[in-house]
Chains A and B, each alone.
Chain A
Amino acid sequence: MAEQHTIHVDIVSAEGEIFSGDAAMVFAPASEGEIGVAPRHAPLLSLLKPGEVRVQTPDGQQHFFFVGGGAIEVQPNQVTVLADTALRAKDIDEAAALAAKQRAEEALRDRAAHITQAEALAELARAAAQLKIIERLRKLRA
């Protein structure tokens, strides 16, 4: 009968498992307001806001986990929190996207600048090889 009094909780993020175990009650910051999930809850799917997921274990202990957002999936005896590892908001994502674009543009613009020593050496080796081939072709033609 233990199944009816507890609910299995998995908190996973893209970078690893955060928590896995049984709980008497789970609280999560859903996008429309904090929700509490008891065993035998109706199936629910919701996005999460940044905040705190609280897990009450059957022995009365409380565990707190910070999530940067994500999603929660509830089935009658199973709760899965798909947590974001990063804090996300529209403008933060936007800024990150802009930065990624800029890096690409900069890289394309200064083809010569910001060249590392390894790249320079590779470039040199390539040029030397090309010269060698040109020499050989000349000899062949002459």
Chain B
Amino acid sequence: MPGTKEIRSKISSVKNTQKITKAMQMVATSKMRRAQERMRLARPYAQKMRTVIGHLTEANPDYRHPFLQPRDEVKSIGIVVVSTDRGLAGALNANVFKQTLYLMREWQGKGASVSLCLIGAKGLAFFRRLNVPILANVSHLGDRPHVKDLIGTVKVMLDAYREGQIDRLFLVNAQFVNTMTQKPVAEQLLPIESIDTEGLQEHWDYIYEPEAARILDGLLMRYIESQVYRAAVENVASEMAARMVAMKAASDNAGKLINELQLIYNKARQASITKELSEIVGGAAAV
């Protein structure tokens, strides 16, 4: 039986760990709320963008932008992977990577090569061990990602698409379903598949300044950027939610551990008292 002193120091060390995990849980909770709010704020921009682009494409059926034009032959694909910068977020990153690998294997099976664009330090650490070209990377965006930090990374992929280096572009991130559930999702960024043209029955057209093609180009680029931004913000929300749950579990486990250790400690203490007593009694009897 271990000495009582050792058990006591073990208990205090577990208690300290529990304090840290509890603090992390609370920090993650408040950060998650803020990230959710930012997700909400990003929505009107993307929606408005979609309707304007939808209208533009409807009004100019003769002009086909490369971003809207599906390519028959897919020789290579690009994947934008959004991951977190820090760990201790449960299986969040592992799930995103699994989804990515699944997507990679699916396309490699069809004979397409894969290049990656990584957002987040964890993704970089994971994928650089694989033998896959990484075209662009940005990490340490913090808890408040900004569009301006993503522009360069997205542009690399858009340029690769324009030049025909990649024929399709995907985006993988952890979707925030609710506090308990974060689902890894892969969606196609390019070519843009679904531009809702419903509700655009009225056949009027805009005055364009400059010409429609240039406006469409600018809008499509910003639209993709806003999609990636949305993914980055959503990933932060997911990260915080996952960390919150993981830290809650860790705190609970620490509590259980403390209870068990306390029991062992009490037993050890009781045993030593009994032993001492029996020694005294034995000693007295001998005299």
Interface residues of A (CB under 8 A from B): 10, 12-17, 30-32, 35, 42-47, 70-71, 73-74, 80, 82, 84-88, 93-101, 103-104, 107-108, 111, 116, 118-119, 122
Judge whether B56 is part of the interface by a CB distance below 8 angstroms. yes
In the complex, chain A residues whose CB is within 8 Å of the CB of B206: 43-45, 73-74
Is A45 a contact of B56 with CB atoms below 8 Å? yes
Known: A82-B48, A101-B135. 19 other contacts (CB 8 A): A12-B44, A14-B46, A17-B41, A31-B209, A42-B207, A43-B207, A44-B207, A47-B210, A47-B214, A82-B52, A85-B146, A97-B152, A100-B137, A100-B138, A100-B152, A104-B137, A107-B124, A108-B128, A111-B128
In the complex, chain B residues whose CB is within 8 Å of the CB of A16: 38, 41-42
Shortest distance in angstroms between A45's beta carbon and chain B's nearest beta carbon? 4
A45-B137 contact, Cβ under 8 Å, with A12-B45, A95-B152: no
In the complex, chain A residues whose CB is within 8 Å of the CB of B147: 13-15, 84-86
Shortest distance in angstroms between A40's beta carbon and chain B's nearest beta carbon? 14
Chain B interface, >50% SS class:
helix
In the complex, chain A residues whose CB is within 8 Å of the CB of B148: 85-87, 96
Is B152 a contact of A108 with CB atoms below 8 Å? no
Among B214-239, those with CB < 8 Å from A are 214-215, 218-219, 222, 225-226, 229-230
Judge whether B125 is part of the interface by a CB distance below 8 angstroms. yes
Judge whether B153 is part of the interface by a CB distance below 8 angstroms. yes
A15-B56 contact, Cβ under 8 Å, with A47-B210, A96-B152: no
Among B90-141, those with CB < 8 Å from A are 117-118, 121, 124-125, 128, 134-139
In the complex, chain B residues whose CB is within 8 Å of the CB of A101: 135-136, 156
Is B128 a contact of A107 with CB atoms below 8 Å? yes
In the complex, chain B residues whose CB is within 8 Å of the CB of A103: 136-139
A86 to B150, CA, bound (A): 10
Judge whether B252 is part of the interface by a CB distance below 8 angstroms. no
In the complex, chain A residues whose CB is within 8 Å of the CB of B153: 96-97, 100
Is B42 a contact of A15 with CB atoms below 8 Å? yes
A94 to B152, CA, bound (A): 7
Is B52 a contact of A45 with CB atoms below 8 Å? yes
Is A97 a contact of B136 with CB atoms below 8 Å? yes
In the complex, chain A residues whose CB is within 8 Å of the CB of B229: 14-15
In the complex, chain B residues whose CB is within 8 Å of the CB of A74: 206
Judge whether B256 is part of the interface by a CB distance below 8 angstroms. no
In the complex, chain A residues whose CB is within 8 Å of the CB of B52: 45, 71, 73, 80, 82
Is B152 a contact of A99 with CB atoms below 8 Å? yes
Is B155 a contact of A97 with CB atoms below 8 Å? yes
A82-B56 contact, Cβ under 8 Å, with A14-B229, A93-B151: no
In the complex, chain A residues whose CB is within 8 Å of the CB of B117: 104
A42 to B230, CA, bound (A): 32
A73 to B128, CA, bound (A): 43
Is A86 a contact of B56 with CB atoms below 8 Å? no
